[in-house]
Structure 1
Amino acid sequence: MSTRTIRPGRPAKRAGSLKGLLFFFLLGSVLFFLLKDDPPSVLKPAAPYIAEKYQKGQVATEQEFDTFNEAKAFLADERGAIKRTEDDRYVYLTGPGIGIVDPGGTLNIYQDESLKKRLTYVASGSRLTLRDFGPDVSRIEIAGVSGFVASDRLTLYPVEQSTNRSFYERTGDTLRHYIVANAGLGGWITVGRAPKDVSKRTTDYVEVSTLTKNLRKPTPLSAKELDAFIKNNAPDSPLIGTGKTFKKVERDFDINAAYLLAHAIHESNYGRSTIAREKFNLFGVNATDIAPGQNATAYKSLDDSIRKTGQFIARDYLAPDGKYHRGPFLGNKAKGMNVFYASDPYWSEKIAGILYKMDAF
């Protein structure tokens, strides 16, 4: 009896298997040629400081450094600046620049580098002209005053990186001030009659004659003329009809009624501000920068506000022996009422512009 060996049959070929191998082979080949010359990439962290050297108002060279002292040595005595890489904030200047007052309340300006005798103060967001920078104390100018401030309260910019700057511009006989500032302090205002020696445009501080007018002298404007000015500019103003009160306060306390009205118009938007409506406070008395509505003084009526504030200003600001007397005029941050009445460096200019429109002097 013969025996037959049964051999197992060959498995059927799968067409899909060969195609899959071919696909992965081609894919691997492509990736090999694309990546064979590229070494593994490791991003180098940015250096902490960048030093910039300036020539002819532009960045001539810049270089990264691991330490501040290295960056400072690179600048030596050349015109330049250093900024931090992490936030692009300038921390060192070798020449003039701009210093913006950081948030955190008003900034005191002092007479000398010891920062002991205060000259005046300015609001957060004010832009100061930086004359000399120091790591602790810097010399600045703003609104007619020159003094010293704590450097750590300023955001610094070199002149070469400050393209947008405040300036005065003459239009016919009128002077306008285009103010660049933060925190709502910016915009343009009519200051008054342009001095004859002012050119078409200047970034230098300009003082108009209205700023030095004696506010203890009466205005030639009558009560009716004061009311007419209010009505012509704000027909819905609750101040219409208060002309008699302003003139009476003028007689009783030797304070110019037109100035007092212009002050009220500026601070209260013709008596329409929230503080004026809720507290009859027309002059921003005790309306501090931190909590103006909460801290503002409340009065019984508009007439009460005009009378009490007029008496207070005449006594403490205009009288020679007054607590805040720096001259019986609006002034600026170096002299007059603006030294201590308001943190806005150009508060006096805004009131002077209203008086100019009123033709009060």
Structure 2
Amino acid sequence: MVKKILGLLFSTILLISFVVPNISYANDISNHQMKTELTYFANKGVILPDEKGNYNPNRDVTRGEFAAYIARALELPNSSKYTFKDLKSGTRLTQEIQNAAAVNILSGYPDGTFKPNQKITRQQMAGMLYKALRYLDVPLNKAPLTFKDNYKISSSFTDAIANSVYYNIIRGDHTANGVYFKPKESATIAHAAAFIYRTLAVADKYGPQDEEDDDQPTQEPGDSNSSSYYIGKVSKGTITKNPTIYTTYEQALTAYNASSGDVNLILKGDKIVKMSSGLAYAADTTANTTSVYYNKNFTNQITYITEGRELKYNGTSSTGEYIIVQVGDIVGYAKPSDVNLVPASLIEGRDEYYVEDSLLTHRIYNHVKGAYEGKYTVGPAPSFMQSGATYYSFDGVHFYNSSDKLVGTYFPYFQFASVRKPSNYTAEELDNIIISELENREAFGGAQYKDATTKSKLIGLGSFLKEMEKAEHINALFVLAAAIHESNYGMSANAQTKNNLFGIKVYDGDVQQGEKYKAPADSVKAFVVHYMQERYVPQSALYPFGAVPGNKTTGINVYYASDPHWGSKIAGHMYRIDSKYGKKDYGVGKIGMVLTGSGSVNTRLEPSTSSPLAYSYRQKNSGELEQLGYPVIIVDETQASDGTWYKVYSDDNKIAEYVWIRSDLVEVLD
């Protein structure tokens, strides 16, 4: 249907230059630089005139208007599934915004609003058009972003803008000083017309093509059709499908529920969409990642994980519209197309934890590749783990045995210790650690580390790491561990050719991309200032989930990396280095957890409720077991008239180095 609409649209586009419109437009279109695009959409009723007949092409366009333009241009079907609390019911604009939301072309803000009257930014436009192309089944691609103001582009829009650049939909602004994208600047109605016009042209050229014959072949009983549903079972390692075909998921579910106990699957074509028990994992998607959402409408993202990584399967909705999964310790919702399900009896491998040389070791299984991808050490093994036994965990904190019984909870120190706490290693010691590690890699690491002691981009960074630690209050050992992990000890291609030690702007879909820096120290500064300080660590940051490496429920790892084990891998590097070169940082200060499940928690500059407020830990999901709030390092405590107060490292160094929290609001971890 969509392709037929596009075909008609672009037949009209081809005729625009030759046919005189039968509508008389105001002079603000007839002499405009974007006359063709504006006239076309005015003819189609996509862009509407005001009461004076003017189209105001140079006026800034709002979020609501742009959403409506897309809904009209694509002739989206009416939907009542989405409601934003700041939209007035019963209006055409509200209906059109809901139509676009229903097909995931747009989403609102975390507070449930859409803000239709807010001016839309260029990067927000790119985001909606990116999703429109996905809706139109256009292959998504990326072009390198080389704008002078790349650093101003929000990370959540980089893929969309890279796709827009690839298809030449939204172009940069050429100036004497270079090309700028201006991501946070507003755009006009004329710009909106031009961008949507180009998007439809791309869809017409690269989207799926209609067949001349609309007749569908008759399906014989027992044939597997990707749009049909079946019920089935797993028996002796083989999936067997009942030959009965169901046209809807609801029909298949009714048959599933009415069947005998040996039926344990519902399939859509050959894809399992419901099972009695088993594992889920992030599917092999175009984006190479799977998003998990707080809501069933897929508009409020919890986090994202890279393909092949495990998710706990908690069920499928009664309509088949979403899969219920657990990521980290949070239960959320995923699109059926973005996850694969593996029945329990067909699991060939999975993530596992075990004790090796008294250390907690994590072995990772990639379900897309069907193979183990190595192992790493997290830290010392907890006392409840026995040598020779295998344990399982979705968050690296709560550990289960093969019977799915919780056997213990363990918070690895470096994974949940605040990165605001400075390292006790000096600049000289860090330099010596770097050289020693490179010597070891050069001697025993194989050809990839040839001449590492002279070529690695980590060499000589000790002083700068400590300078950044002093200026920005981000732990130097943490930064070094992140650089080691992301750059393969300074020997990766991005490190060697771009001085990029942290994979900055290297995307899951294209690992060849990446920001270029004049020197490795510039990469360190970008990581600390533009990422840790501006996006992840303070409560005022873009993704304020906790000032620790963390996991997919709390800490930097929630949004920083698609790898759900990034935080524990960083902690592993920190523990290995610290235990080998002095044991100066491990266990220095108790870890406490600020739990905000029932509301925000205030911190104070002094141990008193009458003291000025420093900042508040906002309410957030602390996980199914309600133990993963905001980790802090406790450095002191004192008694006051209203009880005990803990002195902790502040998440926001611009406010204070330390803040105070009342002890009844903090759970001290063993």
Same fold (TM over 0.5): yes
1:65 deviates by 1.3
Letter in 1 for 2:334: V
CA distance change for structure 1 residues 166 and 302 in 2, over 3 Å: closer, same or farther? same
Q: Give 1:210-221 correspondences, 5 Å limit.
A: 210-221=414-425
2:245 aligns with 67
**For 1:228, which of 432, 449, 457 is the aligned residue?**
432
Distance in 1 (CA, whole Å) between partners of 2:329 and 2:379 is 16
> Secondary structure, in 3 states, of the residue corresponding to 1:180?
strand
1:161 deviates by 1.3
Distance in 2 (CA, whole Å) between partners of 1:214 and 1:70 is 50
Q: Is the deviation greater in 132-141 or in 45-54?
A: 45-54
**For 1:306, which of 524, 548, 551 is the aligned residue?**
524
1:139 aligns with 324
> Secondary structure, in 3 states, of the residue corresponding to 2:560?
coil
Letter in 2 for 1:215: V
Distance in 2 (CA, whole Å) between partners of 1:120 and 1:60 is 34
Letter in 1 for 2:437: N
Letter in 1 for 2:500: N
Letter in 1 for 2:428: K
CA distance change for structure 1 residues 258 and 285 in 2, over 3 Å: closer, same or farther? same
1:276 deviates by 1.0
Aligned length: 313
**For 2:515, which of 297, 304, 321 is the aligned residue?**
297
1:306-356 per-residue CA deviation (whole Å, 9 max, x = no partner) reads 123222213321122111221000111111000111111111111111001
2:265 aligns with 81
1:274 matched to 2:457? The reply is no
1:111-145 per-residue CA deviation (whole Å, 9 max, x = no partner) reads 13232221111122222221112321111123333
1:263–1:283 CA contact under 8 A, matched in 2: yes
Structure 2 stretches of 5 or more lacking a match? 1-219, 398-411, 440-451, 579-584, 587-670
Distance in 2 (CA, whole Å) between partners of 1:101 and 1:358 is 35
Q: Give 1:6-85 correspondences, 5 Å limit.
A: 46-48=222-224, 51-53=231-233, 62=240, 64-68=242-246, 69=251, 73=255, 76=258, 78=261, 80-83=264-267
> Secondary structure, in 3 states, of the residue corresponding to 2:545?
coil
Distance in 2 (CA, whole Å) between partners of 1:340 and 1:63 is 39
1:110 deviates by 1.0
1:108 deviates by 1.5
**For 2:304, which of 98, 101, 121 is the aligned residue?**
121
1:332–1:348 CA contact under 8 A, matched in 2: yes
**For 1:163, which of 324, 327, 348 is the aligned residue?**
348
1:72–1:82 CA contact under 8 A, matched in 2: no
1:167–1:201 CA contact under 8 A, matched in 2: yes
1:7 aligns with none
CA distance change for structure 1 residues 185 and 338 in 2, over 3 Å: closer, same or farther? farther
**For 1:107, which of 261, 284, 290 is the aligned residue?**
290
CA distance change for structure 1 residues 248 and 74 in 2, over 3 Å: closer, same or farther? closer
1:265 deviates by 0.5
1:139-175 per-residue CA deviation (whole Å, 9 max, x = no partner) reads 1123333211111212221112113111111224311
CA distance change for structure 1 residues 133 and 186 in 2, over 3 Å: closer, same or farther? farther
CA distance change for structure 1 residues 185 and 172 in 2, over 3 Å: closer, same or farther? closer
1:100–1:156 CA contact under 8 A, matched in 2: no
**For 1:346, which of 565, 570, 576 is the aligned residue?**
565
Distance in 2 (CA, whole Å) between partners of 1:153 and 1:112 is 15
1:27-46 per-residue CA deviation (whole Å, 9 max, x = no partner) reads xxxxxxxxxxxxxxxxx985
**For 1:253, which of 464, 472, 494 is the aligned residue?**
472
CA distance change for structure 1 residues 72 and 122 in 2, over 3 Å: closer, same or farther? same
2:290–2:339 CA contact under 8 A, matched in 1: no
Distance in 2 (CA, whole Å) between partners of 1:245 and 1:118 is 36
1:180 aligns with 365
Q: Give the % identical residues.
A: 29
> Secondary structure, in 3 states, of the residue corresponding to 2:516?
coil
Distance in 2 (CA, whole Å) between partners of 1:163 and 1:357 is 31
Distance in 2 (CA, whole Å) between partners of 1:271 and 1:133 is 44
2:298–2:334 CA contact under 8 A, matched in 1: yes
Q: Is the deviation greater in 175-184 or in 117-126?
A: 175-184
Q: TM-score, normalised by structure 1?
A: 0.78
State the Cα RMSD in Å. 2.7
1:219 deviates by 0.7
Q: TM-score, normalised by structure 2?
A: 0.44
> Secondary structure, in 3 states, of the residue corresponding to 1:202?
coil
**For 1:193, which of 361, 365, 380 is the aligned residue?**
380
2:474–2:528 CA contact under 8 A, matched in 1: yes
Letter in 2 for 1:240: I
Distance in 1 (CA, whole Å) between partners of 2:256 and 2:535 is 53
2:273–2:316 CA contact under 8 A, matched in 1: no
Distance in 1 (CA, whole Å) between partners of 2:254 and 2:268 is 12
2:322–2:336 CA contact under 8 A, matched in 1: yes
1:331 aligns with 550
Distance in 2 (CA, whole Å) between partners of 1:284 and 1:60 is 42
Distance in 2 (CA, whole Å) between partners of 1:47 and 1:66 is 10
Structure 1 stretches of 5 or more lacking a match? 1-43
CA distance change for structure 1 residues 76 and 356 in 2, over 3 Å: closer, same or farther? farther
2:306–2:563 CA contact under 8 A, matched in 1: yes
Distance in 1 (CA, whole Å) between partners of 2:468 and 2:282 is 39
Distance in 1 (CA, whole Å) between partners of 2:488 and 2:549 is 19
1:94 deviates by 3.5
Q: Is the deviation greater in 268-277 or in 180-189?
A: 180-189
1:14-70 per-residue CA deviation (whole Å, 9 max, x = no partner) reads xxxxxxxxxxxxxxxxxxxxxxxxxxxxxx985537744469xx6799553131456
Distance in 2 (CA, whole Å) between partners of 1:98 and 1:357 is 32
Letter in 2 for 1:221: Y
1:97 deviates by 3.0
Distance in 2 (CA, whole Å) between partners of 1:124 and 1:96 is 18
